[in-house]
Structure 1
Amino acid sequence: MLQTHHLRSSIRFLFLLLCCFDGLVLGELHQDFSKCLNFFYKGTPPQGINATGYQPICQRFKNQYRFAGMYHRQSRAPLYSAYIISSADGKRPDSTWMYEPQLAFSRASADMKPFTSSVDQNVMESQAVLQDYKNSTYTRGHLNPSMHQKTTEDRAATFTLTNVVPQRAGSNSGPWNSLENEVMRKFKAFCEGPMYVITGAMPYADGAHWISNRVSVPEYMWSAYCCPSYKAKLPQDVQPIFPTYAAVGRNDCYSDEEIVPVNPKARASVRGYDVRKMPLDTLEGILAQRLAMPISLFDGQCQ
């Protein structure tokens, strides 16, 4: 009987140990954003995304959630990143690029990790890696730009390839960068509360375009903001762009002009990478047609 008692006690101890160990290593990938709803207006992520293959990610760095993203495994690229804009309190950090361990290993740490010299095959199969961008003629285009984040840690967290799409340099350092700076100026000048931003990528209508035969290249970039609390007396020319506004930018200078017209007077280095600003519902209509999904970005249109 004593031997049986010891055996039962050992089994109970082993069971408790396994439970505790499982709690330490179990990853946090879910089918929703329940861990990071604060990055969305009224805690409501975009509605209408009903295709398979999309993975919500609460992007965590140094044991803290920094922003949210919707990732497409087959494309090895994000559909969008969602964040709360904040004025940076320092310079752009050194770019230590990271990956999302949970996409490769279901029980991995929830924190993003820096790339090492050798990349695990499971990581390569589940997401983009630095080698994909090497000699590709594309830059690593942030959806959540580092200078839209306040602290050093928040800015460093944007340097994950789950927040990046292949973006032409003419767009990344040209008109799209100007749009990011303009959104920041609007936030500082007119917002009296949080500004929620969702920035994403739009695939080609004629099928996927790839770098390294692995990572989907977007034809357009898009972005929208929601500032529900803003100054009571806005200048007349600013009134139409609050509480929401949106934009679409060309990532292919040879695309047709149906969505974004080309400015023939633009300087040669950025010609064809134009940005068209528009009301939120216009962007949602474009996304609904291109993605074949009735997307609603902000709850109640941010009203």
Structure 2
Amino acid sequence: MHSSIGVIFLLLCCFDGLVLGEIHQNFSKCLDFFYKGTPPQVNYSVGYQPICQRFNNQYRFASMYHRQSRAPLYSAYIISSGKGKRPNSTWMYEPQLAFSRASPEMKPFNATVDQNVIESQAVPQDYSHSNYTRGHLTPSMHHNTEDDRAATFTLTNIVPQRNGSNSGPWNSLEKKVMGNFKTFCKGPMYVITGAMPYADRAHWINNRVSVPEYMWSAYCCPIYKAKLPPDVRPTFPAYAALGRNDRDSGEEFVPVNPKAKASERGYDVRKMPLHTLEKILEQRLAMPIRLFDGQCQQLSQL
């Protein structure tokens, strides 16, 4: 294994020095977004901050945020049918990352951003002229209500993502997951989407926000149709994917399709069983990882 800042991004310890208030040392107020109320089993380094993402007086999803990287490790949510429209992009921030006694609600950025906010988290200016898009971990397309969709536009749910990935293969994956949910899932579908750092060294935009080498996602649908098409059976009750965010990365984890159109070449997504993704994350991060309690056991089929 390589040792690096990238891998230190997720090394062992416990939650120290976290602020109090609506932001807590765990996800106790928003466990409903996790299968069986159990967040991923991972040991985190100092600087990781659980956030129960709250908008208009309601919890919308959950994120594990890393302060030093000014980016989330993952976001967890329950998918809905995705019938709503994409809202206007009003980017928001988490006040309690900057001020422990501030409002528990995410807030839109003002024209002038407070210095404490700039120091505590990513701001819109970080993405200006960076050649990276704002990549949603919880995508707005996976939600119905206007408020649920608007809440995904907090920068604590965003990582720097190449446009070739964001508007190409990764967007196709998000649509495929939605299709599986609508067609085959008969109960709640729990989704966790995250970012995997570089192994050799950290990469940054604006010398402030950590850039992931890969995006990853996994879902758990323990109640699903009894009769699945043969090609769909391996994807239930759980399935996962790993996507390239750097077209110059090696092909150890995700092969490159040389026939892909030029704008998307090198941003391929590899779909895989849940345990395969967990093994890849364990290899990169040098620690055991379990994304869903009991590996998302089948409850029943309808």
Same fold by TM (over 0.5)? yes
Deviation at 1:289, TM superposition (A): 1.6
| Number of residue equivalences | 278
Q: Is the 8 A contact 1:50 1:293 kept in 2?
A: no
2:133 equivalent in structure 1: 139
Query: Within 5 Å, which residues of 2 pair with 1:5-154?
Result: 27-154=21-148
Deviation at 1:127, TM superposition (A): 0.5
Deviation at 1:217, TM superposition (A): 0.3
Query: Within 5 Å, which residues of 2 pair with 1:1-303?
Result: 27-303=21-297
The letter for the 2-side match of 1:61 is F
**Deviation string, structure 1 residues 68-117 (Cα, Å, up to 9, x no partner):** 00000000000000000011232100010000001011111110000011
**Deviation string, structure 1 residues 248-273 (Cα, Å, up to 9, x no partner):** 00000000000100001111110000
CA–CA separation in structure 2 for the residues paired with 1:90 and 1:302: 28
**Deviation string, structure 1 residues 137-194 (Cα, Å, up to 9, x no partner):** 0000000000101100000000000000000000000000000000000000000000
Q: Is the 8 A contact 2:23 2:51 kept in 1?
A: yes
Deviant stretches of 4+, over 4 Å: none
Q: Is the 8 A contact 1:67 1:82 kept in 2?
A: yes
Q: Is the 8 A contact 1:99 1:162 kept in 2?
A: yes
CA–CA separation in structure 2 for the residues paired with 1:172 and 1:166: 10
SS at match of 2:234: helix
**Stretch deviating more after TM superposition (229-238 or 249-258):** 229-238
2:13 equivalent in structure 1: none
2:8 equivalent in structure 1: none
**Deviation string, structure 1 residues 28-69 (Cα, Å, up to 9, x no partner):** 111100000000000000002332211100000001000000
Q: Greater helix share, 1 or 2?
A: 1
Unpaired stretches in structure 2, ≥5 consecutive residues: 1-19, 298-302
SS at match of 2:75: strand
CA–CA separation in structure 2 for the residues paired with 1:152 and 1:189: 23
Q: Which has the higher contact order (CA 8 A, sep 6+)?
A: 2
Give the alignment's Cα RMSD to 1 decimal. 0.8
1:14 equivalent in structure 2: none
TM-score (norm 1): 0.91
Q: Is the 8 A contact 2:84 2:143 kept in 1?
A: no
TM-score (norm 2): 0.91
Deviation at 1:27, TM superposition (A): 2.5
The letter for the 1-side match of 2:69 is S
Unpaired stretches in structure 1, ≥5 consecutive residues: 1-25
SS at match of 2:223: coil
The share of aligned pairs that are identical, in percent, is: 81
Deviation at 1:286, TM superposition (A): 0.8
SS at match of 1:83: strand
Deviation at 1:292, TM superposition (A): 2.2
SS at match of 1:50: coil
CA–CA separation in structure 2 for the residues paired with 1:208 and 1:108: 31
Structure with the greater alpha carbon radius of gyration: 1
**Stretch deviating more after TM superposition (281-290 or 48-57):** 48-57
SS at match of 2:258: coil
The letter for the 1-side match of 2:260 is A
